Chains A and B, each alone.
Chain A
Amino acid sequence: MARHLALDVAGLARRFTTGRRRDRRTIDAVRGITFDVHAGERLAFIGPNGAGKSTSIKMLTGILQPSAGSATVLGLVPWEQRRALSRRIGTLFGQRSQLWTELTPRASYRMLGAVFGLDDALLDRRIGELGELFDAVELFEQPVRTQSLGQRMRCELAACMLHEPELLFLDEPTIGLDLLGKQRFRDLLVRLNTELGTTVFLTSHDVADIEHVAHRAIVVNHGAIISDASVASMRQTLFATKRVDVGLERAADPIAISAVLGDGVQVTAPSDSLLRLDVDTNVRPIREVLDLVLETLPVADLTVLDPPLEQVIGEIYERPA
């Protein structure tokens, strides 16, 4: 049986007017985007600053009316049925907190549970389930101000899940987290999706968020969709390049190193003690290159980076239509 649509968006557009009288100008923040998302999908909605991501999320959650186009979210028109929709979706907007910092998350959850109409018995059961799922039973009893950002974001995510939303909107949720915090957060999103069936709609600047969380990614730029593809296929094309920064104990000749590392690896030397390797993982597995680097070079430090989002978008534009 075909899965039903969680989001059905057609020609959605939003124009803003700014300035006064003679300085008045219009900005097309979102220019007629069309896409759909099936229930249970994990979608990344990505693009650079000002691409129209947040404006799109505002329209899809009902807190902004579009200038044109239509959308249904879980069968509801968001800007006409916002309150009904809010009972069925969860939202996490970056660093905007729902929790009282001086109190424990549990105290905040009791308040938020009342807002969503959960009775105390159901709420306690729900907090217990989320504590287990998020491995955060003790964290829920610890005042928020004493928690690290990563711990707080786990508690924020749990707050969004109290009322068992069918669809979760996350706007830059990993911003500011350290590497471990990001990884734990991504794992949680995947678990929410696989264990509870929650549809995930994620915006992020971080290519790794997309690779680890999403099945599919829609790339927007200047308010329009420029790519809509599975993450697996993007991995083969757009995310295939990994950058490896190698800190050296002593200077090395990049031309000689390039010869040693072979095909699929482009070598540059920003300084005497730093080598930059751009590895095409379609040609050379990253592990093979790393092994070779560790064997042949005087390595002091080593960092593997995803391509920046701007580079990915640049490559999308360069691809033949």
Chain B
Amino acid sequence: MSEERGVRPYRRAIATEAARELASPSGLAVAGVFYLMVTAVLSGLWATAASANGGEIVGYSATALVWYIATAEAATVSLPLRLIEEVGDDIASGRVTSELLRPISVLPMRIAVRIGAFLPRLAVCVVGGVGFAWLIGGSPPDALALALAAPSLLLAVGISLVAQHAFAGMAFWIADAKGAWFLWSKLVFVLGGMLLPLEVLPDTMATVAKALPFMAMAYAPARLASGHVEPWLLLVQVFWLVVACWVSSSVFRAGERRLVQEGA
């Protein structure tokens, strides 16, 4: 038997989970329809508000706002809304304990499986979102900014995925953490810039929001896709990804140690 070889198990996990996601196209279709509905409603609202405000809001034109909302929604809809609850349930039910019986770290494997699940969803959202934004809002405000938005979108979903695992890790210590996903989603909706560009918030709140990790999960790619050539946003995202990885691996290490020492 050969030794485990680097990333092969994780690559295989991504491929297997992506195959599973593609094996149930109805789930993908529902996610796509939900995404288009939310994007249509929110971008319609913001485009109307921009028109009523002389054609733009805090520097965003109606077209830029459509591209902003389409991107911010893609970043959030690609992951399950209740991911934190699902991970928490897996910890509380002992599923994570049984994963300790494999010769591989629990958290990276869980992340790999989730990457496999979100990639097809993200692809559906990107195809649908680009089509929608082009049709409703017009051509993208800036081609270079849109090119930067592509890796930024991947980073945004990645940061959200890893950070939600860190947050869900509280289930190692708290028996009932079911409501945590609700708090998380509201933070991303407002402070992450999913519902609105952060510049719309009052100055102090906008400054605080831009210093928090939630901005890296929706605002950053949306800001780029809306025509702002600000490559430093990618660096900020890389920073938050590193922080999220460190925190989540620390939480899971401590949680696993607790499981083994004290039982589920």
Contacts and interface: CB of A to CB of B under 8 A. Distances in A.
Interface band, chain A: 35 or more
Contacts of A116: 1, 4, 102-103
Interface of A: 14, 16, 55, 58, 61-65, 79, 82-84, 86-87, 89, 91, 93, 96, 100, 102-103, 107-108, 110-111, 114-119, 122, 143, 163-164
B16 A115 contact: no
Nearest to B95: A96
A117 B23 CA distance: 26
Nearest to A16: B263
Interface string B1-26: 11111001101110111011001100
B4 A115 contact: yes
B261 interface: yes
B100 interface: yes
Contacts of A89: 101
Contacts of A96: 95, 98
B260 interface: yes
Given A83-B103, A117-B103, A64 B263 contact: yes
Interface band, chain B: 20 to 34
Nearest to A164: B1
A84 B98 CA distance: 15
A204 B186 CA distance: 46
22 contacts: A58-B97, A64-B263, A82-B101, A86-B101, A87-B1, A100-B17, A100-B20, A102-B23, A102-B24, A103-B16, A107-B19, A111-B9, A111-B12, A115-B9, A115-B102, A115-B103, A116-B1, A116-B4, A117-B5, A122-B2, A163-B1, A164-B1
Given A63-B259, A64-B263, A91-B98, A110 B3 contact: no
B103 A87 contact: yes
B180 to A, nearest CB: 21
A232 to B, nearest CB: 32
